[in-house]
Structure 1
Amino acid sequence: MAHKGTEKTLQKLKDSVSNGNYYEAHQMYRTVARRYNKQQKYTKAIHLLHDGAVSLMQHEQFASGSDLANYMLDTYNLGAVTVDEKSLDRVVELLSLYPSDEPGRKMYIHNAFSWTQKHGEYREGDPELHDYVGTMFFHEERYAPAEEHLLVGTDHSAETLGKVAASWAQVENATSPGLFIARVVFQLLAMKNVHHATLAYTQFIEEANPATTGTEAKVRRAPADEPETEPVYSDSWLNFARLVLLTVQRDAVDLFRQLRESYKPMCQEQKGFDELLDDIGEVFFNIPRPRKQGNMLQDLMSSLFAGGPPQQQRQQITASRQGGMELD
């Protein structure tokens, strides 16, 4: 809780903003916060800067508000503020006030993730923040950055990834929509995240309602299980993604190799897919990766986040594998 002196200063600054004295208020917020930081009174500085950023943005002074928002993140780092619900809520609240076209938003997002990487427990940044940012980009129909953030998010992120893939494929009028979700599934499996891959795939099927061939394949989720039926889709990429997803949950290295061989022509037409499958084979079945220079998964993800698959790569694969492959 800020002291009475701080609250009095805040009220004075709020009045200045309400009266339209935006430049004066902005400079005073910075001056007082700088003084608090020099005294290592980081809690007071954060309270002041957050309040000022909110007030200025609510008055559509977005550049000044963004400056204070970023100064708040600088103070988070100065004070070694840990990532918790309260500190993260401030970050998200300010982010929600940014217009999508405000130039300062990109730097604010970058600084926010930098803080969560330094003072949180996740190397890629806080999953809840990734979920918020990825969902925000999805609603703005910015599918590439949405996918980038949602891949390292929460359960909600995984379900949203299914929606992203379905919407992205629709916007691109893709003849093989399954390619979009296959890419998501393989990236998640390369990170050994079966749970999120399953959530994303299931949500895609629900959103896209893809056509089936009218036939079914029998699969076994474990060698001793009774066979279960799975729909066979007209889109071969959906069948391939589903079969890989089921195979990695079993001790079925031979079946994985057989799958790769069967769908090899498809994968060879998509840049980076063989490398993703190499990663999947390594993390689930200890299959040594071919010796190549560089981090292929990282390179692939960077290229994918730059945009959707090239139009040439979106053409329907006509070589049908409609019958699927029995997992027994």
Structure 2
Amino acid sequence: MGGYELHQKLRTKAVRQLKKKDYAGAIESLHGGAVELLKEGEQGSGCDLGVYMIDVYGQAELPSDETSRGRILEIVKAAKPDFWRKKVIDAAIKWSAKVTSAPAGDGHLRLALGEALVASGEFYAAEGHLLAASAPPPGNASLASQHFDASAPTKFASSQLTWLYAHAETESQAKGESRDQATIARSASGRWALRGLLPLLVARAFTGSRAFLIAYVKELVTKHPKLLLPTQPNPKAFSPVGGTTTVQSDPLQLYMTANADLNFAQMTLALVGQAVSVKKSGQRVGDQLRNAWGGLIQQYQREGPALEADEFVGDTINGISTLYFDVRSNQPQGNFMQDMLGALMGGGPQGGSQPAPVIVKQPPAPKGVQRPDTEESAGDGGEELDLD
């Protein structure tokens, strides 16, 4: 039987089963048929049955559990990376968002999708899923514990490093490139760290951002000890600005490195952590902490290559200034970084307004990295997921 005939036969069979409310039977027919068709290279027909299966999940009010997610993953892994597979993934996320009440979809599903794409070397496609898996909606501990895996940020960190090393290997083989793979990896390591850290901070996923960066930096400097500066101690515990004690009982360990982007990422996390602790204690962010953040940005403008290479870095710095340091700069009319710094150094409008909507927005593909045209990214700005 040809692919088209089998596809039509299974759709007809599923319709009959659904008329009898035989949801389990319909799911079994559609899942088995989708996998079989995909193995035969019938991409459109196989993915269509996969989408139909997920629609039946909704009719049956099936929960997002290991079994239901497992069928989806089997179909995704069997499919080729084109718009047909995207239809399956989009349908799966939409279904899981509905049954779990997690706006970006079940974190377990997003993590599993990300890991599957990493395994096939589709790092940019995986990144959006891993970001979403690492950012449970803030203020909902029950949702986070039920539908998100606490290990997701650590796994995200390992994925970013794997992507970094793959990128470095490709770059080292480019015509005219004289640097070796290790040198390129050390040079670009801060950019890949910021790709994970900054979107998570803007999404108010502070716990996830902290776990991500700690795992990323620790694994990175273990493999590339040449990154570390010859200072002692290294790492050293972050000292709160102003000598206050409103920080976590487990202070952030800062690694002093030769990479300006990586140093900025660590100091950003440290200052944001102090701001979070200050606000949790019922206080307002003071001028000392706000000025320390402004000073860090000024230094980074002089030293940080990612600020110029990756436009999203400046955009997220602006968002972090508002969310954590209560800086309300005017609508930018030119150089928004200078506008925001002016607000910081001048005291800036502060307090009173509500936090911005929580969004996990995947950064655009790094310059020099080819972005797949048919994968799970949403336009040139990556994947944007409203988590408010």
Q: Distance in 1 between matches of 2:357 and 2:94?
A: 24
Residue number among 92, 115, 118 corresponding to 1:138 in the alignment: 118
Residue number among 231, 241, 263 corresponding to 1:239 in the alignment: 263
Unaligned runs of 5+ in 2: 134-148, 169-183, 279-288, 334-355, 370-388
Matched-pair contact (CA < 8 Å) for 2:47–2:79: no
Give the corresponding residue for 2:214: 202
Q: Distance in 2 between matches of 1:297 and 1:276?
A: 13
CA drift of 1:55 comes to: 4.6
CA-to-partner distance for each residue in 1:19-70, whole Å, 9 max, x for gaps? x676554433211211233444434322332233345456665554333222
CA drift of 1:117 comes to: 2.4
* Displacement over 6 Å in runs of 4+: 225-229, 295-298
CA drift of 1:72 comes to: 0.7
Does residue 1:184 correspond to 2:196, yes or no? yes
CA drift of 1:289 comes to: 4.8
Give the corresponding residue for 2:323: 283
Spell out the pairing of 1:77-96 with structure 2 (5 A cutoff). 77-96=58-77
Matched-pair contact (CA < 8 Å) for 2:271–2:293: yes
SS of the residue corresponding to residue 101 of structure 2 reads coil
CA drift of 1:176 comes to: 3.2
Q: Distance in 1 between matches of 2:265 and 2:30?
A: 48
Instruction: State TM-score, norm by structure 2.
Output: 0.64
Give the corresponding residue for 2:244: 223
SS of the residue corresponding to residue 273 of structure 2 reads coil
Q: Distance in 2 between matches of 1:53 and 1:166?
A: 34
Q: Distance in 2 between matches of 1:170 and 1:297?
A: 31
What is the root-mean-square deviation of aligned Cα atoms in Å?
Answer: 3.3
CA drift of 1:235 comes to: 0.6
Give the corresponding residue for 2:167: 172
CA-to-partner distance for each residue in 1:203-255, whole Å, 9 max, x for gaps? 32244324111114563257248998733101111111111111111133332
Spell out the pairing of 1:44-55 with structure 2 (5 A cutoff). 44-55=25-36
Q: Distance in 2 between matches of 1:189 and 1:139?
A: 26
Q: Distance in 2 between matches of 1:290 and 1:80?
A: 47
Unaligned runs of 5+ in 1: 1-19, 312-328
Identity over aligned pairs, percent: 23
Change (3 A) 1:257 1:47: same
Matched-pair contact (CA < 8 Å) for 1:117–1:124: yes
Instruction: State TM-score, norm by structure 1.
Output: 0.74
The worse-fitting range, judged by mean Cα deviation, of 30-39 and 40-49 is 40-49
Give the corresponding residue for 1:157: 152
Residue number among 234, 256, 260 corresponding to 2:293 in the alignment: 256
Q: Distance in 2 between matches of 1:43 and 1:229?
A: 51
SS of the residue corresponding to residue 62 of structure 2 reads coil
Q: Distance in 1 between matches of 2:106 and 2:210?
A: 22
Matched-pair contact (CA < 8 Å) for 2:97–2:104: yes
Does residue 1:212 correspond to 2:228, yes or no? yes
CA drift of 1:146 comes to: 1.5
Change (3 A) 1:213 1:76: same
SS of the residue corresponding to residue 76 of structure 2 reads helix
Q: Distance in 2 between matches of 1:101 and 1:229?
A: 40
The worse-fitting range, judged by mean Cα deviation, of 52-61 and 30-39 is 52-61
Q: Distance in 1 between matches of 2:320 and 2:111?
A: 24
Structure 1 letter corresponding to 2:295:
Q
Q: Distance in 1 between matches of 2:307 and 2:10?
A: 57
Matched-pair contact (CA < 8 Å) for 2:114–2:126: yes
The worse-fitting range, judged by mean Cα deviation, of 220-229 and 112-121 is 220-229
Change (3 A) 1:228 1:45: closer
SS of the residue corresponding to residue 366 of structure 2 reads coil
Residue number among 64, 74, 95 corresponding to 1:115 in the alignment: 95
